Every structure is written in C-alpha cells, then in structure tokens.
Structure 1
Amino acid sequence: EAWLLLPYVKGGTLWSEVEALREKGAFMPEQRILLILRGICCGLQAIHSKGYAHRDLKPTNVLLDEDDRPVLMDLGSMNRARIEVTSSREAMAVQDWAAQRCTISYRAPELFTVPSQCVIDERTDIWSLGCVLYCMMFGEGPFDAVFQKGDSVALAVQNPITIPPTSRYSAALHRLLSSMMVVNPQERPSIEDVLQQLEGLQAAPPGQATTQI
C-alpha cells in the first residue's frame, strides 16, 4: 500500500477565479494575468524540458495558491511531446486519442485532423496556453461559446483569433496572445520564446515563478 501526499492549494482553480470575476462584471488586471501566465509557462517549461507535453491545459487544470502561484494538475493526458505520424492509421489513432483526452475547446488545430505524414510536438500546449490567456483576459475561452452552441470547434480553430474590440489590455499582450494562437504549429513560439516575450512585459517578482506540476 502506498500513500501520496499532495499540498493543499486553497485558492481553487483558475477557472473558478475567472468565473468569480465575470459574475462581478470585473476584469483581471494585466499585471495579475502576466504573473499567473508566467507561472504556468514555468510549469510547462519543466514538462517540455523532459520531452513531454501536457496535452490538456485549461483553466480547470490550473490551481492558484494564496500568492497567485499556479500549479498545473491533471497530468492524465500527458505523453511524449514529439509524435511522428507516418501513415493514415497512425494519424487516425492520434486523432482518436486527442478526441478522448484533449478538451475540445482548448485542443490545438493539428489534433482535429491529423495528416498521415506529420510531426505533432509540444506546441499543442502553446495553443492551449493561448486559450488560457484569452480566458483570463475575456472571461471565457475563445471557443467556449462555439462549443456551447453546438457549432464546429474543428472549423472555428482554422480561423485567426479575433481580439474583442472592447479589450482593455495592452497591444503587447494582444501580440503575445496572437503569436500563441497561430493555426500552423510550426509558426508558434516555443515555451522559451513565450517566456522571453513575457520578460519584456513584466519583471517577475522574486519567488513567484513555479515549476509545480
């Protein structure tokens, strides 16, 4: 018999925080978004550096402690980051796996229709990270409404992301969001690139980065 001791993270999930703000008609301040985003990025960097990808990053899979330090959870979908697809059978197997294990409204475009000759890598997480950032900025994921209406998320993710005209955030944050949500995974930044962009937006307070997963 084995026991696993886990820390108690009393802040709840990032999604519960987003919901609470939305119910009050409030918006998350940009500096708080950057603080949380940087912590998530550090956690992803730890995963990617070992050759793995999370594959199901979303606000309900991010816990926040009392200092807004994020902890990545639910690693049941994590697998090797690099997946080489060399046949239609392998492509269908990856596609079916993603349909079961990767939340549809946060799933990267390349996982909806997998080509018979391709390489899937950790940049699926960068797309999902962009969806999480969008959710912190605007109170819901970019494709949540599409899914709730019963429309095709697979088609919706093939179009460039639209920034709401009422956005109160900086142009630099908009650019960061857009860079992560490029349909072609080869054009998306790595997690190191995202962290480098964040350095220009915010100097991280000491002790606030996290590699907790």
Structure 2
Amino acid sequence: MGHALCICSRSSITIDNKRYYFIQKLDEGGFSYVDLVEGAQDGRFYALKRILCHDREGRKEAQTEVEMHRMFNHPNILSLTGHAVMERGGKSEAWLLLPYISKGSLWSVLEKLRDKGSSMPESRILHIFRGICEGLKAIHDKGYAHRDLKPTNVLLEENDKPVLMDLGSMNKARIEVKGSREAMTVQDWAAQRCTISYRAPELFNVESHCIIDEKTDIWSLGCVLYCMMMLEGPYDLVFQKGDSVALAVQNRSPFHSHAASLKDSRRS
C-alpha cells in the first residue's frame, strides 16, 4: 500500500510519490468524503475518496474496496488510480484516488430531466442500460456481486458511457446461509450496506437456510431501469412517505400503483 503525506494546511497531498492539489469538496457520506484534486504533474482532475477507518474492521473494509477496484479492468467499472493510508491522531483514513467524471451520476442527470419536466429518450435509456449490464456482468463473471447498485452509484461520461462506482459493498456473489444466526448477520449487513429502496426482497427477511446470490443485483438493476423510465425509483416515494419499504418490496405494490397513477394522469 502506498504512503501518504499531508503537506501544510492540507492544500496538497502526496500519494505514491505524486503530488495532488486540493480544489474543492464534491460529496460527503456517513464514513467517507470525496474531494476534487488536481495532479501537480499532469494537470488532470481526480476524485479523492477518503474513507474514515474507526477500527480494524473499518480498515479491513477499506482494503477490500481497494482490492475490488484492482480486480477489474473494464470500461464500465471505475478504475483505481492510486491509494494510500493516512494515520492521524490514532485514527486512519484510506485514500482512494479515482478518475474524475465531471458529468456526475446517472441520478443527477435524471434529476435535471425531472426538474425540466422532460424525460429520457428510449434509445438513451437502452444505451446506458446496456453499459450498466456489461459492467455488472464483468463483476458477476468474477464471482462477485455489487450489492448496492443504484442511480447514484452509476457515473456517466460525456458520451453517456455508464461507469459503476462505490465497490465498498461488494462481496462474493454466492452466500450460503446456515442457521438463524447467520441469517441475521446477513440481514444486518444488508441493512447497513444495501440502500433500502433498491434492496432485493430476500435481503429484508433472510431465511435461516438459503443461498443469497447475484440475483440481488438483478433486482436492483430492474429498479435502476424503472428509475430511468419514470425519473424516480419504484420505492422512492414509499421511503419518502415513511411507509414500510420492506413490505412494499415484498408486495411489489409501487409498480402497480405508480403505473395506475401514470395512466390516470395521461387520461386527464
């Protein structure tokens, strides 16, 4: 793993003996931050993801994310430019240097369309969807599953080429559950790492003896396709209302209610 050095007032950092200048903050999550940085040598922009590691388990998870990125060399999966660990005050941060894609996420594009009262043409939907499928297939072919596929985890390059990102929830595609304790462990993990409105039904109530596999990604993939067509996820409204997403997912109710309301609006 590379060595990290913070210089002056954090205006510049060094990863793998290359200096990068801090430009601005891009995003912030529960345990991670994303900054825009510029390479001192090549003048290119990069996204620096800083993962806060509070304990040994956190450091292990960050290292797993690094390994997941390194496993793939595919046009529809975000590559890893460099990485390092920063030790500070008894705590550590994992730094992942990633390509910067200025167009942003698929979700940001869909939001703009919704604000304009517009929609995404079918040809564009199919183009993006195919790229997502190809990236997902590459992950599945390696025996892994993404587990948190959603519009905010799909970046779009200028030519609308989708790139899957945020590989921190990835794990082995096939998980054999033996007993109620293992089932609860998987269920608790899914509650923490798999976004609720895109989570597959089998992850809400994990059976005591079952096999969880890459089909969880296929469910999420269908939700992403729905979102591209409707400009909102099939269970986004359920979540926003504070209703039970788990119950709605198991009943598949939003698909029917949304389709009905869409028909009524067209009639009027």
* TM-score range normalised by the length of the shorter chain: 0.7 to 0.9
What are the residue-to-residue correspondences of 1:1-213 with 2, within 5 Å? 1=3, 2-3=15-16, 4=82, 5-160=97-252, 161-162=255-256, 164-165=259-260, 166=262
Normalised TM-score (structure 1): 0.76
Structure of greater Rg: 2
List per-residue Cα deviations over 1:156-186 (Å, max 9, x = no partner): 001233262547xxxxxxxxxxxxxxxxxxx
Gap regions ≥5 residues in structure 1: 168-213
Gap regions ≥5 residues in structure 2: 4-14, 17-81, 83-96, 264-268
The whole-number CA distance in structure 1 between the counterparts of 2:151 and 2:219 is: 13
Amino acid at match of 1:164: A
- Which one has the bigger helix percentage? 1
**Cα RMSD over matched residues?**
1.3
2:250 partner SS: coil
Normalised TM-score (structure 2): 0.61
List per-residue Cα deviations over 1:88-123 (Å, max 9, x = no partner): 000000000000000000000000000001000001
The whole-number CA distance in structure 1 between the counterparts of 2:238 and 2:98 is: 36
Q: Percent identity?
A: 74
Aligned length in residues: 167
List per-residue Cα deviations over 1:53-81 (Å, max 9, x = no partner): 00000000000000000000000000000
The whole-number CA distance in structure 2 between the counterparts of 1:6 and 1:103 is: 22
1:126 partner SS: helix
Partner of 2:50: none
The whole-number CA distance in structure 2 between the counterparts of 1:75 and 1:49 is: 15
* Deviation beyond 4 Å, 4+ runs, structure 1: none
Partner of 2:88: none
Higher relative contact order (CA 8 A, sep 6+): 1
- Which one has the bigger strand percentage? 2
